[in-house]
Amino acid sequence: MQNETTQTELLTQTELLTQTELQARFYVERGDFTLDVAFSIPSCGITALFGRSGSGKTTILRCLAGLEHLDGSQLRLGDEVWQDAERFVPVHQRALGYVFQEASLFPHLSVRGNLLYGYQRVAPAERSVTFDETIALLGLENLLERYPDKLSGGQRQRVSIGRALLTSPRLLLMDEPLAALDDTSKAEILPWLERLHESLSIPVVYVSHSIDEVARLADHMLLLENGRVLAQGPLQEMLTRPDLPLARSGNASTVLNATVVGHDAQHHLSVLECGGERLLVSRQYVSPGQRLRVRVTARDVAIALTPPAGSSVSNCLETQVESISDDPQPSHVLVGLTFGDQKLIARIARHAQEQLKLAPGMSAYALVDIALSCSEASWRTSGTAPKANAQYREQRPGFSLIQ
Amino acid sequence: MLSPQDAGALWVTFKLALISTAILLVLCTPLAWWLAHTRWRGKTLIEALVMLPLVLPPTVLGFYLLILLGPRGWVGGTLESLGFNHLAFSFSGLVIGSMIYSLPFVMQPLTAAFQATSGRMLEVAATLRASPLDRFFSVAMPLARRGFLTAAVLSFAHTLGEFGVIIMLGGNIPGRTQVASIAIYDHVEAMDYASAHTLSLILVVLSFALLVAVYGLNRKFKVVGIGS
């Protein structure tokens, strides 16, 4: 009964949806820093905790793990209460995986020893993943007998992800897993993270201050500022909301969800379908049917009222103007565009906007070049597949890791 | 070449070094762990107390121990009243004396090793379902193994060369409390340089072999990746 009351309180306090998997409320005052957040995280997909350093991202992640114990906090994962006024489940009794910023492998154990460390501490009946599946998922077969100091940064991080997954977590927490890596290692590990994203059916909380990573990996976003939640929602919505700093930053961009239709080998192009429109991009080495995330930078989108004849720009998307808002630079405006279920933002000159008399509700053509950054994706919306274990989804046939 | 009495002295020396080192390691591990992690203010006092045997003249240490462990001392007296023997001039007394004498040499490397082990590793272990005690044995101890090795060697070697405390506390009873360093002193006093040479050379060779073995082990540990 007591338990029910607290949960109801938590719900009313934070006005959270009942369908969500993880609900949390953390509060602490430390000197001049106040953390005061209440949020819920969907049961599936990657939720990015995004914000500047000092915004409280890592503190929240540590609170979720139980590495920090803040009084007056509440945390519930599914039907399990991890923290409330009466109880605090210690870290080692929480079914979670934590990937730290630096790989933090145990130097006295081989890769195999590191991987088995957590695996062996989970009762066989509670294991939902197998050792072989996991090392195959992360490509660790050839590293097992090595010691951590003989691995590259990217390999180490892959091992530490595998180590965390082998505890059959119900929640995966990742604290800037790429931040300590150089660009080569980052490029090496990103496809693995995307693959992970595709095959995991547990909520993943991903802390990052890199919008590139977030745009590539996340499904949802929790935007933090000075210890508070500024906004939260599906990634595309968050990237395009003109009232948020994301759309207003100089290199603002949006993410389109597209499906590969075919390839034009002669011109080195791939043809994608996106929100009912056809989108050409530079050749992507994936099979038709593969879903891609296409990143479009706001300043690379031009707008025309009629489809331009004799233009070098390959893509001309028929869109509706949704919003027009000020850009931090007075010479520019941000134009929110929609087509089908997709959203775009264009950063165009104020003078051009006035000349075209662009206004919300109007039809307009968005002109985009083919040089767009694409990454493999399986996008989800909140509430799908509320399966709370780490069983890997069946891999699609023809799945490839080529970037 | 080696008289039975000298052989006995060597045996007592090694037995003493081995036993006091073993007990010290067991007792100091929790204490060093606590010192490395506590934020208690009184910690400084404990640290100073632990380091005291390092700066005190061994004779001062031996003198107080003699009084304390002897028939009229707190410890010795209590033991006598309980029907045991007091500890002055006994091997057990020597073990206690050696332990106090070598305490800083065990505590210092152990505390340093535990302090150097990043809290991060223990947090990682916690997120991998290891309970606090499990974390200690499966992560903290293996990561501090060089500290343990250093502590063991320093304590052993330090006890081998012990003189002042033993001569005050142990008397010089051949076969029971006479150790090699005192036997050498006796030989020199008696102008028996040949015997002093033999005993000294054995100590030099053994100590050297011990250190070589330790450095060899240390290198092996390094390969495994400590400190990387």
The full set of domains in chain B, from first to last, is 4-224 (1.10.3720.10)
Beta-bridge mates of residue A294: A256, A374
Best of A82, A88, A92, A119 to disrupt the B interface by mutation (most B CBs within 10 Å)?
Answer: A92
Kindly state whether B39 is in contact with chain A, defined as any CB-CB distance less than 8 angstroms: no
Residue bearing tokens 């309980």: B82
pLDDT tens digits, one per residue of A65-82: 999 888 888 999 888 899
Q: What is the pLDDT of residue A401?
A: 32
Phi, psi of A118, deg, nearest 5: -80, -35
Give me the residue from B124, B128, B226 closest to A121, CB to CB: B128
Least-confidence region, from A164-178, A371-385, B88-102, B131-145: A371-385
> Residue B127 and residue A121: Cβ atoms within 8 Å?
no
Q: What is the pLDDT of residue A217?
A: 87
Chain B residues with beta carbon closer than 8 angstroms to that of A150: 225
Q: CA of A149 to nearest chain B CA: how many angstroms apart?
A: 6
d(Cα A384, Cα A396) in Å, to the nearest integer? Answer: 18
Contacts of residue A131, defined as CB under 8 A and 6 or more positions apart, other chains included, come to A115, A116, A119, A166
> Residue A108 and residue B123: Cβ atoms within 8 Å?
no
d(Cα A221, Cα A41) in Å, to the nearest integer? Answer: 9
DSSP A49-104: EE--TTSSHHHHHHHHHTSS--TT-EEEETTEEEESSS-B--GGGS-EEEE-SS--
Chain A residues with beta carbon closer than 8 angstroms to that of B225: 107-108, 147-150
Q: CA B74, B77, B82, B86: dihedral to nearest 10 degrees?
A: 110
d(Cα A341, Cα A17) in Å, to the nearest integer? Answer: 23
Give me the residue from A67, A98, A121 closest to B130, CB to CB: A121
- Count of beta carbons in the 10 Å neighbourhood of residue A354: 10
DSSP A102-137: S----TTS-HHHHHHHHHTTS-GGG--S-HHHHHHH
Intra-chain end-to-end CA distance of chain A, in Å:
52
Q: CA of B121 to nearest chain A CA: how many angstroms apart?
A: 7
- Token digits of residue B227: 């400190």
Chain B residues with beta carbon closer than 8 angstroms to that of A65: 127
Q: In what order do the strands lie in the sheet with A22-30?
A: A80-83, A74-77, A22-30, A33-41, A228-234, A220-225, A45-50, A203-208, A171-175, A96-99
> Residue A98 and residue B127: Cβ atoms within 8 Å?
yes
d(Cα A155, Cα A175) in Å, to the nearest integer? Answer: 17
Q: Is the pLDDT of residue A89 over 90?
A: yes
Helix (H) or strand (E) holding B106: helix B91-116
For residue A336, name the pLDDT band (cuts at 50, 70, 90). Answer: very high
Beta-bridge mates of residue A38: A25
Determine whether A278 is exposed, middle or buried from the number of CB atoms within 10 Å of its CB (0-12, 13-18, 19+). middle
Best of B124, B136, B222, B223 to disrupt the A interface by mutation (most A CBs within 10 Å)?
Answer: B124
Q: Residue B198 is which amino acid? A: T
Domains of chain A by range and CATH?
2-241 (3.40.50.300), 253-376 (2.40.50.100)
Q: What is the pLDDT of residue A378?
A: 56
Specify whether the CB–CB gap between A282 and A271 falls below 8 A. no
Which residues of chain A have a Cβ shorter than 8 Å from any chain B Cβ? Answer: 65, 67, 90-93, 96-98, 100, 102, 104, 106-108, 117-118, 121-122, 147-150, 163-164, 167
3-state SS assignment for residue B18: helix
Helix axes B180-189, B4-37, angle to 10 degrees: 130
> Residue A107 and residue B226: Cβ atoms within 8 Å?
yes
Determine whether A377 is exposed, middle or buried from the number of CB atoms within 10 Å of its CB (0-12, 13-18, 19+). buried
3-state SS assignment for residue A189: helix
d(Cα A76, Cα A25) in Å, to the nearest integer? Answer: 9
Q: Is the pLDDT of residue A191 over 50?
A: yes
d(Cα B21, Cα A400) in Å, to the nearest integer? Answer: 59
Q: Is the pLDDT of residue B67 over 60?
A: yes
Q: What is the pLDDT of residue B74?
A: 87
> Residue B128 and residue A147: Cβ atoms within 8 Å?
no
Q: What is the pLDDT of residue A181?
A: 82
Intra-chain end-to-end CA distance of chain B, in Å:
49
Give me the residue from B127, B224, B227 closest to A65, CB to CB: B127
Specify whether the CB–CB gap between A56 and A227 falls below 8 A. yes
Q: What is the pLDDT of residue A2?
A: 43
> Residue A100 and residue B128: Cβ atoms within 8 Å?
no
Helix, strand, coil shares, percent, chain A, to 5: 25, 35, 40
Q: What is the mean pLDDT of chain A?
A: 83
Residues in chain B: 228
Q: CA of A382 to nearest chain B CA: how many angstroms apart?
A: 26
> Residue B225 and residue A149: Cβ atoms within 8 Å?
yes
More confident residue, A359 or A380: A359
Q: What is the pLDDT of residue A392?
A: 54
Chain B residues with beta carbon closer than 8 angstroms to that of A92: 126-132, 134
**CB crowding B121-138: b at 16 or more within 10 Å, else e:** bbbbbbbbbbeeeebbeb
